[in-house]
A and B are shown apart, each in its own frame.
Chain A
Amino acid sequence: METFLELLTGNTLTRLVFFPALACLPLLFFSKSGEAKGAKIYALVASLIELAFGLQFLAAHLASDGTFPLVRDGKLPWIPTYGIHYDLAMDGISMPLAILGIFLVPIVLLGSWKGIAKSWPAFGASMLMLTTGVLGALFAYDLFLFYIFWEVMLIPMYLLIGVWGGERRIYAAVKFFLYTMAGSLLMLIAILWMGWTLRALNGGVWSFAYEDMLRLDFPVHQQLWLFAAFALTFAIKVPMFPFHTWLPDAHVEAPTGGSVILAGILLKLGTYGFLRFALPLFPKAAEEAQPVLVGLALIGIVYGALVAWVQEDMKKLVAYSSIAHLGFVMLGLLAIDQIAWEGALLQMVNHGLSTGALFLLVGMLYDRRHTKKFSEFGGLAAVIPVFAFFLIFSTLASVGLPALNGFVGEFLILAGTYRALGWPAVVATSGVVLAAIYLLKMVQLTLWGPITKEENRNLPDLSLRELAALVPLCVFMLWIGVAPEAFLKPSRAALDSTLTAYRAAVERPAVAEATLRPAEATLRPAPDQLSRQEEGR
């Protein structure tokens, strides 16, 4: 068995997860003032190295036919007394999100170059720690480990909002923290309960392994409680209506970098949690709760869009649009349909790209004018044409213009939802229309029309650094838009097997008390058949 150190130095998930955390340490030695530049460059280089590691890992495992297998690091005992293992795995579901997360960090750092005025070393360290938390949560294959990483994400984000945020940053930061924690603590109790049940059925042997948990069959009434605990946690994170109220506050108060990372990757962990944990672990309860959750997702789509429409602040508009877009993702997931799931997963990535770009653009405008109000702008297209180009491009991607990424995701979600659920797809389509209205309103109020404010006449256009942050995002928006298959294919098998297992579990007769299915009965490949991590050694 490999040791942790061997894993850390190889081309492994462990390296991906812990490199950013280790890279934080030297940042402690940058003095708080005067060395901002050094800290900036150091953090950027570290995030680029992490990106290189991510691509190296991808290159090593992406099959020539474009599929992505389940890749695991060696399983190490961590707290064997309680059967807790250090167990990381990446499959087609977590891969796109992880790569997106890694990809966004250098962009965020570039985008925050000027906007972050104080304590850059701490800012860089928070970003890197956040990367560790996010990647760990995406890769964890042990429920205890997942919970740890899930909580580890909280502190850096709390600091990002609270230290570098706007006027009401404290309120927003605490609200963010308490909302997320409230859900996750209930999830912890659910995990503990599952742990005891598993132990009782497993001959007194503790385990929190994801695969073992998948073998647990709970009676429906118990499933409902457990599902409620998990679903609440993830619904808060997504966020679904009516648990969304923390999000606008967090987004508006967070610095640009914080908003991008929040929208780009943190929220996705909520939807990922549904796909990875809440739905597969408690299929019968999910089936029961489906109508309610679909209703909430639809409300989220329409409500988010309507509220976005009436905003007078650019950042708030984008924040509410996030609620609507993630409502789409949730709808796709709840449709329990292969096409919808593929669309939902792609849409998670799309939203990260286009909303990330929008937040960056808002931040760039804010750096120049120190306001985000529509009433302060107008006619900017003539002053800063390059900025205008990127704003229009990202907006169109977000609206779902064909040939850009948003269209593919939304189309697949709507098609799949229509096939599986019928009328909810019709309601959701109104969300697409509304999105066009409010996003184009944003473009119109900022870019078109006469220049109403004198200060706007001499705004400088985008700098090279800002272009370096935006261009990669836009390249991917276009790429996914014209050639989506390359992005859909790696996830297809993983989604398919999850869906098959889910459907089989729903079909299975209900049990009267909790039972543990034998290992070979699972539809997931058993651990020894999984392609194990060999590279780099």
Chain B
Amino acid sequence: MNRSDLISLLPEMILSGAAIVILLLDAIAPKLRRSFLALAILATGAATWGAWVAWSRVPGGFGAAALSWNGLLETSGVTYALSLVILLATGLCLLASQGYLWREGILTGEYHALLLWCATGLLLMLRGTELLTIFLALELFSFCLYSLAAYHRRIAVASEAAIKYFLMGAFVSSFILYGLALTYGATGTTRLAEVAAKLAASEQVPVLASLGLLLLVAGFAFKMSIVPFHAWSPDTYQGAPSPFVAFLSVAPKVASALVLFRLLEAVVQGGSAVTVHKWSVIVATLAVLSMLVGNFLALAQRDIKRMLAYSGIAHMGYLLLALVVLDRGSLLPVIVYLLAYVLMNAGAFTVVSMLYGKPGEQHLISDLSGYGYRYPLLGACLGICMLSLAGIPPTVGFIGKYLVFLNAVGDGLVGLAVLGVMASLVGVFYYLRILYVLYMKAEEKQPEGLLLDVWGRTAAVVAALGTLALGIWPTGLLQWLLEATTAK
């Protein structure tokens, strides 16, 4: 351990340190609870700075990657970009949560602490280049997620959601651990780079390694809620506290997507044509299933949180399109898509958490009837997020879809791209339904017990404006990402 190792770990240290401080303060000075938000936001901001410091120390500038902690953690433009995306999701979730926690009378330090630890785990996982590190980071953030899902313990659905999530998650953890063991058994190493080298050197991929990697991919597909590993997400989203779902529905997917990329890269790099083809068929199947199942089931939902859960499944399907033919060029669309997904989905859940006053009940879409006029600002934010989710310009959701489909067409997957756009047409239908109830239906229900606090509104506006701004002016972002992802 030397100084540069410590610096590379700066964002994680800031986040977990702040979480400990908050937890201590909660015990010592419970009266300060209302200001934990400021502290946590400050920590997120500081972690952003920390991530920048860690990245700026990487020799070789853009696109270069540095390994620290004995080669266990990677610091590069890609991990930096995705770290920022995760921190953005953390910040939005923190802002969105304050009003909800206050309204429900459950504002305590544990919430903020758990969320910050969650972010720590995610940052570690996406930087991990070694399977055990990845697994430990995964467990770190998973435990925080389970606890947070059950955070509103007075309502039954929250406990139910958390139990479901926990049982499935624990099951999948064993998948990952088993896959890890098999991979280690086949290749004698847990470092992904060495696994890749071993696989490339052997003429045929050993069955054990294939099976192990398959289990690993399944595990991360679970975290990304990809069909057929998606069953937990609608139930969990429905029961978990809405502002926390703004985090749960985006951040783990961001980190898992990069790990998935690394896993596939390890097996595809230097692999024979047969291997490459086999894996691309697997990914393509997952993508198609997710797009179709997600969109068609979302169509049938009456609960907005369940609808967004299924739409999230579909979005991960689009994302996978970029990974069907795997090369460095796949990273740019993936990162942009994830950023877009964080902005629009977190924005949508933020508004949902504010406009539904009874967390224990169903969040019926029709309850929003006419709210576009009662709450012009929040209605507009939700509307913009919906348009972005539907992939309609000028929003960042369109830019993301454009890049994913551009990549797919460039890889010669025109059929898949056409299937993708047709699936997204189905999506347009249910996203438009939100606009319809917001603006075209007469108000049915008097709102009760809502708390529209300034922080929540800030989060919604930041998400909506970000969605629009990056949709209209993606120039700098794309240029930066291109340099960060291509050069090596």
Interface residues of A (CB under 8 A from B): 32, 77-82, 119, 147-148, 151-152, 154-155, 158-159, 162-163, 169-170, 173-174, 177-178, 181-182, 185-186, 188-189, 192-193, 195-196
Q: Which residues of A contact B376 (CB under 8 A)?
A: 32
Given contacts A79-B475, A155-B387, 19 further A-B contacts (CB under 8 A): A81-B482, A119-B373, A151-B392, A152-B393, A154-B392, A162-B439, A163-B439, A170-B436, A174-B432, A178-B425, A178-B428, A185-B421, A185-B422, A185-B424, A188-B405, A189-B409, A192-B409, A196-B409, A196-B410
Q: Which residues of A contact B414 (CB under 8 A)?
A: 189, 193
CA distance A78 to B478 in the complex (A): 11
With contacts A155-B387, A178-B429, A181-B428 known, is A189 near B405, CB below 8 A?
yes
With contacts A148-B394, A196-B409 known, is A170 near B440, CB below 8 A?
yes
Instruction: Indicate if the CB atoms of A151 and B393 lie closer than 8 Å.
Output: yes
Across the interface, name the chain A residue whose C-beta is closest to B418. Answer: A189
Instruction: Indicate if the CB atoms of B440 and A169 lie closer than 8 Å.
Output: yes
With contacts A148-B394, A155-B392, A196-B410 known, is A186 near B418, CB below 8 A?
yes
Expressed in whole angstroms, the minimum distance between the Cβ of A41 and any Cβ of chain B is 21
Q: Which residues of B contact A182 (CB under 8 A)?
A: 422, 425
Expressed in whole angstroms, the minimum distance between the Cβ of A78 and any Cβ of chain B is 7
B479 CB–A CB distance under 8 Å: yes
B474 CB–A CB distance under 8 Å: yes
B289 CB–A CB distance under 8 Å: no
Interface residues of chain A: helix, strand, loop or mixed (majority): helix
Q: Which residues of B contact A81 (CB under 8 A)?
A: 475, 478-479, 482
Q: Which residues of A contact B436 (CB under 8 A)?
A: 162, 170, 173-174
Expressed in whole angstroms, the minimum distance between the Cβ of A46 and any Cβ of chain B is 20
CA distance A78 to B394 in the complex (A): 13
Q: Which residues of A contact B409 (CB under 8 A)?
A: 189, 192-193, 196
CA distance A160 to B5 in the complex (A): 59
Docked complex: B368-382 residues within 8 A CB-CB of A? 373, 376
B406 CB–A CB distance under 8 Å: yes
Across the interface, name the chain B residue whose C-beta is closest to A177. Answer: B432
B465 CB–A CB distance under 8 Å: no
Contact mask B262-298 → A, CB, 8 Å, 1/0? 0000000000000000000000000000000000000
Q: Which residues of A contact B406 (CB under 8 A)?
A: 82, 192, 195-196
Across the interface, name the chain A residue whose C-beta is closest to B395. Answer: A151
Docked complex: B398-436 residues within 8 A CB-CB of A? 398, 402, 405-406, 409-410, 414, 417-418, 421-422, 424-425, 428-429, 432, 435-436
Expressed in whole angstroms, the minimum distance between the Cβ of A170 and any Cβ of chain B is 6
Q: Which residues of A contact B428 (CB under 8 A)?
A: 177-178, 181
Q: Which residues of A contact B394 (CB under 8 A)?
A: 148, 152
Please give me the 8 A-B residue pairs with the lowest Cβ-Cβ distance, nearest first. A185-B421, A81-B478, A192-B409, A148-B393, A162-B440, A151-B393, A196-B410, A192-B406
CA distance A287 to B371 in the complex (A): 52
Q: Which residues of B contact A155 (CB under 8 A)?
A: 387, 392
Q: Which residues of A contact B475 (CB under 8 A)?
A: 77-81
CA distance A405 to B300 in the complex (A): 50
Expressed in whole angstroms, the minimum distance between the Cβ of A229 and any Cβ of chain B is 9
Q: Which residues of B contact A188 (CB under 8 A)?
A: 402, 405, 421
CA distance A148 to B392 in the complex (A): 8
Residue of B392, B474, B482 with most chain A CB atoms under a 10 A cut-off: B392
CA distance A77 to B474 in the complex (A): 12
CA distance A185 to B401 in the complex (A): 11
Q: Which residues of A contact B421 (CB under 8 A)?
A: 185-186, 188-189
Across the interface, name the chain B residue whose C-beta is closest to A185. Answer: B421
CA distance A155 to B432 in the complex (A): 10
Residue of B409, B474, B478 with most chain A CB atoms under a 10 A cut-off: B409
Q: Which residues of B contact A78 (CB under 8 A)?
A: 475
Expressed in whole angstroms, the minimum distance between the Cβ of A359 and any Cβ of chain B is 22
Q: Which residues of A contact B482 (CB under 8 A)?
A: 81
Docked complex: B150-174 residues within 8 A CB-CB of A? none
Instruction: Indicate if the CB atoms of A80 and B479 lie closer than 8 Å.
Output: yes
CA distance A189 to B409 in the complex (A): 7
CA distance A91 to B426 in the complex (A): 37
CA distance A159 to B438 in the complex (A): 11
CA distance A195 to B410 in the complex (A): 9
Q: Which residues of B contact A152 (CB under 8 A)?
A: 393-394
Q: Which residues of B contact A169 (CB under 8 A)?
A: 440
CA distance A155 to B395 in the complex (A): 12
Expressed in whole angstroms, the minimum distance between the Cβ of B311 and any Cβ of chain A is 16
10 of the cross-chain contacts (CB-CB < 8 Å) are A148-B393, A148-B398, A162-B435, A162-B439, A163-B440, A178-B428, A182-B422, A185-B425, A189-B414, A189-B418
Q: Which residues of A contact B479 (CB under 8 A)?
A: 80-81
CA distance A261 to B376 in the complex (A): 26
Instruction: Indicate if the CB atoms of A189 and B429 lie closer than 8 Å.
Output: no
Expressed in whole angstroms, the minimum distance between the Cβ of B371 and any Cβ of chain A is 13
CA distance A197 to B422 in the complex (A): 23
Contact mask B87-101 → A, CB, 8 Å, 1/0? 000000000000000
Q: Identify which of A119, A174, A185 contacts B429 (C-beta below 8 A).
A: A174
CA distance A357 to B421 in the complex (A): 38
Residue of A77, A148, A185, A196 with most chain B CB atoms under a 10 A cut-off: A185
CA distance A158 to B431 in the complex (A): 13
Q: Which residues of A contact B398 (CB under 8 A)?
A: 148, 151
Expressed in whole angstroms, the minimum distance between the Cβ of B473 and any Cβ of chain A is 8
Across the interface, name the chain A residue whose C-beta is closest to B409. Answer: A192
CA distance A432 to B447 in the complex (A): 57
Q: Which residues of B contact A181 (CB under 8 A)?
A: 425, 428
CA distance A513 to B435 in the complex (A): 45
CA distance A148 to B425 in the complex (A): 16
Q: Which residues of B contact A154 (CB under 8 A)?
A: 392
CA distance A77 to B373 in the complex (A): 38
Q: Which residues of A contact B474 (CB under 8 A)?
A: 79
Residue of A155, A159, A181, A186 with most chain B CB atoms under a 10 A cut-off: A181
Instruction: Indicate if the CB atoms of B478 and A82 lie closer than 8 Å.
Output: yes
